[in-house]
Structure 1
Amino acid sequence: MPNIKERKVAISVKTNATDKEEATKLFDSLGLNLSTAINIFLKKSIAEGGLPFEVRDPFYSETNQKELDRRFAVINENKNVHSHRLLDNEKNNDN
């Protein structure tokens, strides 16, 4: 009789159909089914004591930060900065 802790149990995961399809194709190309891939993720997460990869917002990537710095420098130097009137301001001035 197998150890009760080693008995396989079902889990349910909700995702959208496109992500499931793309992940299934990816894992199939690696010789894995979706269930095996999820089990690998779980085992690796347990071994790492957390997610086995860094979770971060791509907005804060080095490339984006450099572009923001460049744009702020342009604004601070008043290069190619054009003033404009807001439509709301024009409506308020017409009254």
Structure 2
Amino acid sequence: MLSPEKSKISISVKVNSEDKNQVTEIFNGLGLNLSTAINIFIKKSIAEGGLPFEVRDPFYSEENQAELNQRFKKINNNQDIHSHHLLSSEQKKE
């Protein structure tokens, strides 16, 4: 039977170079290299049966939704409405 070390394979992931540099710096500060950090992520994902963190869009947070609802109420009641005027093409040329 092969040892776990000998049965390892390589994977390739494309990332933005700036993101890679930033995350490498973070992991180095934790005493980890990028490969070890990715292996931790994979093991944790297996243990959790999915991503080991919640994936959500902060736009849909309760705070943002409450703010949007408050603004919609003001609009419906004609409060705090400011009109915006677009410049015509003639005004832009001046």
Structure 1, unaligned runs of 5 or more: 89-95
Aligned equivalents of 1:3, 1:47: Cα separation in 2 = 21
Name the CA shift for 1:52/1:4 in 2 (closer, same or farther; >3 Å): closer
Look up the equivalent residue of 1:11 and give its one-letter code. Answer: I
User: How far 1:83 moved relative to its partner?
Assistant: 4.8
Which position in structure 2 is the counterpart of 1:7?
A: 7
Q: Given the alignment of the two structures, is residue 22 of structure 1 paired with residue 1 of structure 2, yes or no?
A: no
User: How far 1:8 moved relative to its partner?
Assistant: 1.5
Structure 2, unaligned runs of 5 or more: 89-94
Q: Taking every aligned residue pair, what percent have the same amino acid on both sides?
A: 65
| Coordinate RMSD, CA, aligned | 2.3
Aligned equivalents of 1:76, 1:51: Cα separation in 2 = 41
Aligned equivalents of 2:34, 2:75: Cα separation in 1 = 49
Which position in structure 1 is the counterpart of 2:91?
A: none
SS of alignment partner, residue 81 of structure 1: coil
Name the CA shift for 1:59/1:6 in 2 (closer, same or farther; >3 Å): farther
Which position in structure 1 is the counterpart of 2:43?
A: 43
Runs of 4+ in 1 over 6 A off after TM superposition: 85-88
User: How far 1:86 moved relative to its partner?
Assistant: 6.8
The CA deviation string for residues 22-43 of structure 1, in whole angstroms up to 9 with x for no partner, is 1001101111000000000000
Name the CA shift for 1:6/1:49 in 2 (closer, same or farther; >3 Å): farther
Q: TM-score, normalised by structure 1?
A: 0.79
Structure with the higher helix share, 1 or 2:
1
User: How far 1:2 moved relative to its partner?
Assistant: 2.7
Which position in structure 2 is the counterpart of 1:74?
A: 74
Aligned equivalents of 1:69, 1:86: Cα separation in 2 = 26
SS of alignment partner, residue 63 of structure 2: helix
